[in-house]
Amino acid sequence: MTTIGDALRLGRAQLSSSPSPVLDARLLLAHVLRRDHAYLVAHDDEPLDPQTAAGYEQLLARAAAGEPIPYLVGHAPFMGLDFAVSPSVLIPRPETEQLVETAVAWGEDRETVRIVDVGTGSGCIAVSLARRLPAAEVIAVDVSAGALAVAATNAARHAPSRVGLVQADLLTALAPGFDLIAANLPYIAGHEWPTLPIGVKSYEPRVALWGGLDGLSLVRALLPQAAERLRPGGLVLLEIGWRQGKAAASLARESFPEAEVTVLSDFAGHDRIVMIQAGMIQGRPNK
């Protein structure tokens, strides 16, 4: 009879090509058993019934073929929260937390902030901002109905009645009047597509990844719309690809010629966020 310990050892061996075989095997087994890590440790010698063992082995096979663990278990961590995910949305990345932290640092001392998260996907940015900025009004926009369904689940779980959801192409359905516009739009360039891991290009939604030939097609479309909808003194934060800083900043200056445009690096020293700080009215910030 296969025990929990046997199953974990099998998982580690079968997922040996993964960067994190121990964690992946544990997540899959905990999911199948509907138990936490502490239970697995404390019940190492507990036998698995044949149906549970078979279900676990099926998940191992799918993971070994490249299917991402978050899709197999239905959730992923972000900003200390657990977000529901599905193949309709991009899996939240740790580097996107920097965008949220930058937005929170900018908005936390303001009395009121009206925020829109463009291309919200799972809603991880919008929901995290709603939680960290309790006085803010937050709207999440996505062109995909499937993505908005996932975002609705996460908003209801973590920030009930705090996030408005809008299905639209970028900002076309929204009127001016935003203090903060945040966006993690698709930014994979054509030449980068063949180099993506199989788990990304074969399982995550192409619409959430493909950014056109240079990776900046949607950024190029968004910026003029953002310029029309951002209040004086407002902020735009755009997550970008690691080699897109110079080009993205140039596009930002075309749409925001009077703004201060800065490219922020991630912890690896790569281009990660374009920050556009709009000008003030008579030297006063918009509050």
Residue type, 69: I
pLDDT of residue 281: 55
pLDDT tens figures, 195-241:
999 999 999 999 999 999 999 999 999 999 999 999 999 999 999 99
Q: How many CB atoms lie within 10 A of CB 287?
A: 10
pLDDT tens-digit series, residues 23-35 = 999 999 999 999 9
pLDDT of 286 strictly over 60: no
Q: Which of 207, 260, 262, 225 is nearest to 240 (CA)?
A: 262
Beta-sheet pairing, 163-167 with 114-118: unpaired
Residue 111 confidence class, pLDDT cut points 50, 70, 90: confident
- Of the candidates 92, 53, 57, the one whose C-alpha atom is nearest the C-alpha of residue 75 is 92
- Look at residue 13 and tell me whether its pLDDT is greater than 60: yes
Same fold, 4-65 and 75-277: no
For residues 64-70, average pLDDT: 96
Q: What is the mean pLDDT of residues 5-19?
A: 95
| Rounded average pLDDT over 114-131 | 98
Q: What is the pLDDT of residue 158?
A: 98
CATH for the stretch 75-277:
3.40.50.150
Whether residue 287 is predicted with pLDDT greater than 80 in this model: the reply is: no
Q: Is-contact 241 211, C-beta < 8 A?
A: yes
Mean pLDDT of 243-257: 97
For residue 267, the model assigns a pLDDT of: 87
- Going by C-beta distance under 8 Å and a sequence separation of 6 or more, which residues neighbour residue 141? 116, 117, 118, 119, 120, 165, 166, 167, 168, 170, 171, 173, 174
Give the separation between CA 65 and CA 55, rounded to whole angstroms: 16
**CATH, domain 4-65, list 1.10.260.40, 1.10.10.10, 1.10.8.10, 3.40.50.10540:** 1.10.8.10
Domain boundaries, the chain: 4-65, 75-277
Residues in Cβ contact with 50 at an 8 Å cutoff, skipping those fewer than 6 apart = none
Contact 189, 241 (CB under 8 A): yes
Q: Give the pTM.
A: 0.93
Query: Which pLDDT belongs to residue 283?
Result: 45
The predicted pLDDT at position 279 comes to 84
